[in-house]
Amino acid sequence: MFTGIVRERAPASFRDGRLVVESSLKPAVGDSVSVDGVCLTVVEAQNGHLSFDVMEETLARAKPFGEAVNLEPALAAGDPLGGHYVQGHVDGVGHVRSFEGERLTIDAPPEILRYTVEKGSIAVDGVSLTIAAVDDTSFTVALVRHTVEVTTLGSLRPGDEVNLEVDILAKYVEKLTSGAS
């Protein structure tokens, strides 16, 4: 479980079939880390490098990992919940429509947009954000300067892909109110 409060922007690359990230984080082998919003398990941690095996399912659902990624260690008991509940299970990929000033607009598929509401939560590349506006094909978030400076979101350009995870509570509410089992 994560909160979408990114702890580090880190260089990343694939080596010998594994995602390798340079990081000052200190997770142990077997710990979960959110990498651009994807929950991955640390398989090796040494000399400031974290290594992860990436499953085919992840590669099919998420955008390709870039040269820099957002990192967040898993929550520990007693950690502050500063963002919203984020599982690290990417629901889909969106595309940046525009990034003007502090406003980032992302085109998203209908299966994502059905869970978006103004003032609701969404994770974009693992970053917990509040939705400022929604229309039939996209949603907009407003980014504070700190988020732009410490995450990969500040380098986004129109057309770039982003990992999206909707608020898990919205999924549960839909299931409970639909009468589906």
* Strand 8-15, strand 92-100: pairing: unpaired
Beta carbons within 8 Å of 7's beta carbon, 6+ residues apart:
25, 71, 72, 73
Please give the model's pTM, rounded to 2 decimal places.
0.95
- Predicted confidence at residue 19, as pLDDT, reads 98
| Average pLDDT over all residues of the chain | 95
181 pLDDT more than 90: no
3-state secondary structure of 155: helix
Question: Could you tell me the pLDDT band of residue 178, with boundaries at 50, 70 and 90?
Answer: confident
Question: Could you tell me the pLDDT band of residue 81, with boundaries at 50, 70 and 90?
Answer: confident
- Can you list the domains of the chain with their CATH numbers? 8-73 (2.40.30.20), 92-178 (2.40.30.20)
Alpha carbons 33 and 1: distance in angstroms, whole number: 9
State mean pLDDT over 138-151: 97
Q: What percent of the chain has pLDDT over 70?
A: 99
